[in-house]
Amino acid sequence: MNVGKVPHEAIERVKKLREELNYHSYRYYILNDPIITDHEYDMMLKELMNLEKKYPELITPDSPTQRVGAKPLDGFKEVRHSVRLYSLDNTYSEEEILEFDRRVKRLLGVESLEYVCELKIDGLSISLRYESGILVLAATRGDGIVGEDVTANVKTIKSIPLKLRNPLDIEIRGEVFLPKSEFKSINDERSEEGLPLFANPRNAAAGTLRQLDPKEVARRNLDAFFYQIVDPYKYRLETQWEVLDFMKEIGLKTEPNAKLVGDAMEIIEYWKRWQQDKHSLNYAVDGAVIKVNSIHQQEELGYTAKSPRWAIAFKFPAEQARTKLLDVTFQVGRTGVITPVAELEPVTLAGTVVKRATLHNFDYIKEKDIRIGDQVILEKAGEIIPQIIKPIIELRTGEEKTIEPPTECPVCGEIVGKLKEEEVALRCMNPTCPAKLERRLMLFVSRDAMDIRGLGGKMITRLISTGLVKKFSDLYKLTPFDLAQLGSGVGDKTISNLLKEIEKSKKNPLSKLLVGLGIPGVGKKLAYDLARHFVTLEALEKAGVNELLEVQGVGKELAENIYAFFHNDEIEEELKELKAYVNTEEPKKEVKGILAGKKVVVTGVLKNYTRKEIHDLITALGGEVSSSVSKRTDLLIVGENPGSKLEKAKKAGVKIITETEFQKLIKGDGANDIS
């Protein structure tokens, strides 16, 4: 790297920025204890990007700017693993766990053993190689001997460090996964676009990691946990428990619920506990992995042709239920996609009563040969979305009915079809279909979008059915007289409150408007990034594909979708009218107010605020809302039943005030008490 002509100040500043950004990533993703705001992090990253743009000779592989810097790939190269990745034997039986324990003790000639129990993440195995602490290779498991080089894609996963906290040469094994919340969001988006849904988070993670465009991978928000080091003796590690601690020390994320146990009964207790509690996690787990703790004993036990003798996967039983498919109804989404929905005899599955389930699309129904009247097997994809896995054909009586795709829209009665011949989704082709408009309006008025309180589903349906609202801009033309025509339940107070909410929404920032427009692939976070990058709606409308690609997290496919959205005749016409009523700029944030620069935590039940209301108020007063108490916390606001955060704050010497004291503070009474 030739830096002879680069000013010394720039070299030092780049070095400092990288160190700080890597440290704050470690605090956020590994320790779950951030000490700066997202905005502060973004500003540092932007400064680093500008310096590297000015002095490209300063760019290094471990720079945080390189997470999404790679160009789309032509394909994946094969990688031979330095040490084979074995698969695990598995069992669903408590008796087989007891037999595993007896067999291991017999082979080792011991009477007692320590085991480590780790939750088995339902994701995609990955192997990482670091040289001098820098990530140089990431490979998929493949057949255990040869995998695929996915380094560029893995670099987009923010919880995986590009640079370790120690300058080690080391090889790590782990699991890449898609959080349940992301899985649901992606499938909701794919459903609206008429794309096939992912069957489960594991399939989604695998499909994501094999995307050829790293920017598309970055948009999916993958995560990872790590559980193994190749050649642990090299780092003076003698137990699996020490391996987990060591990985955390060097900056790698481990699953936080591992447990060291002393006998087989404790293994079974761990398995039973997490079989019940797994729904509380934001990632899918399908069992527990049980490992002999001592690495010396692991080596003594060795391997069979396929699996280690010192470990076993203790899997949870599949959560399925049998019920009857009573009928199929059709839902029309905001893009016109018609989705078949199964109406079921109510059945309890994964802790909830299920009455409806997705049937994905008509190709899925045909492939599975699902019929009305069938007894069917039901499962929750990723423990979230109920879906029919298969019909029980052996139980058919001959009275079952074939499910036929609709020949007309179930809402407006107009023609249905496909935008492309190869498309899976069937759509209503009527641009003014009330169902499309209803779904689009519900997104437009939602909390993350224009946040118009009082405009729920029933009110929107009435506004559409009476012809008062046919497009977004019509909301801003409503008068008291118009609303009075809606009839029962819509009195003067309702009308007054609704019109106030509509008026208030006119001042929303551009980012909230972008969420409400329902741009394909653009959620809350990306809407904010687009608004901050382009500042005005006019600039975003004029942006070409290459300009859109400059926004972090926007890949080629997404850039083309955004460009196509703003160059659709119907959208252009709608925005032309909408601009007359709403704000189309993103204001620059200035940190002002009595809580400026203060890190604030809220705990307990509040009488006068919802969580969102008080968080918004703290932010408006210049404060930074945090979810956990640390030594860096400036203020804890306490409601009823505050829990452990109160005790932690007392020990850390954090300023503590009640909800009543907070209200006095914002009115100016006692404002100087916070220091």
Annotated ligand binding at 185? The verdict is no
Do 256 and 281 form a contact (C-beta atoms < 8 A)? Answer: no
User: Distance between CA atoms of 118 and 115, rounded to whole angstroms?
Assistant: 10
Annotated ligand binding at 501? The verdict is no
- Work out the angle at residue 264's Cα, subtended by the Cα atoms of residues 260 and 269, and round it to the nearest 5 degrees: 75
Q: Over the range 539-571, which residues count as b (16 or more CB within 10 Å of their CB) and which as e?
A: ebbebeeebbbebbbbbbbbbebbbebbeeeeb
Collect all residues with Cβ–Cβ distance below 8 Å to 613 and sequence separation of at least 6. none
120 annotated active-site? yes
Largest pairwise CA distance in the chain: 88
Determine how many CB atoms are found less than 10 A away from the CB of residue 153: 28
Count the alpha carbons within 13 Å of 57 in the hemisphere toward its beta carbon. Answer: 9
Annotated ligand binding at 125? The verdict is no
Do 237 and 295 form a contact (C-beta atoms < 8 A)? Answer: yes
Do 403 and 363 form a contact (C-beta atoms < 8 A)? Answer: no
Spell out where 94-231 has E strands: 115-121, 124-131, 134-140, 146-148, 170-177, 223-229
Annotated ligand binding at 158? The verdict is no
Collect all residues with Cβ–Cβ distance below 8 Å to 310 and sequence separation of at least 6. 104, 291, 292, 297, 298, 301, 302
Strands 311-315, 223-229: pairing kind: unpaired
Annotated ligand binding at 89? The verdict is no
Structure tokens belonging to residue 439: 């779904």
Do 99 and 107 form a contact (C-beta atoms < 8 A)? Answer: no
User: Distance between CA atoms of 597 and 553, rounded to whole angstroms?
Assistant: 28
Structure tokens belonging to residue 538: 């006019």
Annotated ligand binding at 88? The verdict is yes
Residue 536 gets which letter from DSSP? Answer: B
Which amino acid does the sequence have at 2? N
Annotated ligand binding at 227? The verdict is no
Annotated ligand binding at 87? The verdict is yes
Do 128 and 154 form a contact (C-beta atoms < 8 A)? Answer: yes
User: Distance between CA atoms of 383 and 451, rounded to whole angstroms?
Assistant: 29
Exactly one of 54, 120, 588, 650 is catalytic; name it. Answer: 120
Annotated ligand binding at 315? The verdict is yes
Do 351 and 331 form a contact (C-beta atoms < 8 A)? Answer: no
Annotated ligand binding at 40? The verdict is yes
Annotated ligand binding at 41? The verdict is yes
Annotated ligand binding at 39? The verdict is yes
Mark the binding-site residues, compressed into ranges.
38-42, 87-88, 118, 141, 175, 291, 315, 409, 412, 428, 433
Mark the binding-site residues for NAD(+), compressed into ranges.
38-42, 87-88, 118, 141, 175, 291, 315
The catalytic site residues sit at: 120
Mark the binding-site residues for Zn(2+), compressed into ranges.
409, 412, 428, 433
